[in-house]
Amino acid sequence: SQQGEEDPQALSIQEGENATMNCSYKTSINNLQWYRQNSGRGLVHLILIRSNEREKHSGRLRVTLDTSKKSSSLLITASRAADTASYFCATDQGGSEKLVFGKGTKLTVNP
Amino acid sequence: DAGVIQSPRHEVTEMGQEVTLRCKPISGHDYLFWYRQTMMRGLELLIYFNNNVPIDDSGMPEDRFSAKMPNASFSTLKIQPSEPRDSAVYFCASSRWDRDEQYFGPGTRLTVT
């Protein structure tokens, strides 16, 4: 099965609300990354969290990592219509050179 | 830097034809990755290169698919012969030696009729 699995598959919220997306994985990792994909575009890197970190912030983004549960969450605070996109988590498998991507969470932020 | 460049952006071809997708990675990046994205299967890694050498091609679906990286600034993904099930968006991505971030190109949308 896929290494990274995002939950929920789709999320619709109002502008100004917070959006939380979760990612679960199965094997040990060195780091976990989150990417955003706007419709019809390539993926854009948002944030990386290493296995020895528990929380990381970047602007309105907050990422947590729980290696005991093999899970991560991405929180977007004070969402904007421009945050509408699909969000993917990606994991290396024990430090592999390649990333395995989940199928993503499709976020819709309604103005 | 202009970012990762892919061409063509759109390709429509008939079954049985040869298709060649092209990628120019970011200058100075050591790794190049080819992905395929479909609704059914999501984003799949096809093959990746390190310093122009293919490292892992286990994701290449069939012998109809081949990839080359003749130099640090150019890579191709070839499908011969193409089939309708190859219809997808193909992405090229590159990263530095530390692989902390992959930079994706805009993708090539391939339609095989």
Q: Is the pLDDT of residue A6 over 90?
A: no
User: Nearest CA to CA, how far is A35 from chain B (Å)?
Assistant: 9
The pLDDT tens digits for A19-72 are: 999 999 999 999 999 999 999 899 999 999 999 999 999 999 999 999 999 999
* Segment B31-59 mean pLDDT: 95
The pLDDT tens digits for B82-111 are: 999 999 999 999 999 888 899 999 999 999
User: Nearest CA to CA, how far is B81 from chain A (Å)?
Assistant: 26
- Considering only CB atoms, A45 lies closest to which of B4, B33, B102, namely B102
Q: Is the pLDDT of residue A1 over 70?
A: no
Is A103 in CB contact (< 8 Å) with chain B? yes
Residues in B touching A4 (Cβ below 8 Å): none
Q: What percent of chain B is modeled with pLDDT above 90?
A: 93
Q: Where does the pLDDT of residue B1 fall: very low under 50, low under 70, confident under 90, or very high at 90 and above?
A: low
Residues in B touching A48 (Cβ below 8 Å): 100-101
Q: Where does the pLDDT of residue A94 fall: very low under 50, low under 70, confident under 90, or very high at 90 and above?
A: confident
- For A31, name the nearest residue in chain B, comparing CA atoms only: B100
Are the C-beta atoms of B25 and B67 separated by less than 8 Å? no
Residues 6+ apart with CB under 8 A from A105: A6, A7, A8, A9, A10, A11, A21, A86, A87, A88
Contact A97 B56 (CB under 8 A): yes
* Segment A85-99 mean pLDDT: 90
* Segment A60-89 mean pLDDT: 97
* Beta carbons within 10 angstroms of residue A69's beta carbon: 9
Residues in B touching A41 (Cβ below 8 Å): 106-107
With vertex at residue A61, the alpha carbon angle to CA B31 and CA A19, rounded to the nearest 5 degrees, is 115
Nearest one of A7, A81, A74, A70 to A34, comparing CA atoms: A74
Q: Where does the pLDDT of residue B60 fall: very low under 50, low under 70, confident under 90, or very high at 90 and above?
A: very high
Are the C-beta atoms of B4 and B92 separated by less than 8 Å? yes
**What does the mean pLDDT of chain A come to?**
93
Is B18 in CB contact (< 8 Å) with chain A? no
- For A95, name the nearest residue in chain B, comparing CA atoms only: B99
CA distance B82 to A24: 35
CA distance A25 to A72: 9
pLDDT the model gives residue B107: 98
With vertex at residue B59, the alpha carbon angle to CA B106 and CA A32, rounded to the nearest 5 degrees, is 65
Contact B106 A42 (CB under 8 A): yes
Is A45 in CB contact (< 8 Å) with chain B? yes
Is A59 in CB contact (< 8 Å) with chain B? no
Q: Where does the pLDDT of residue A73 fall: very low under 50, low under 70, confident under 90, or very high at 90 and above?
A: very high
* Segment A73-95 mean pLDDT: 94
Q: Is the pLDDT of residue B44 over 80?
A: yes
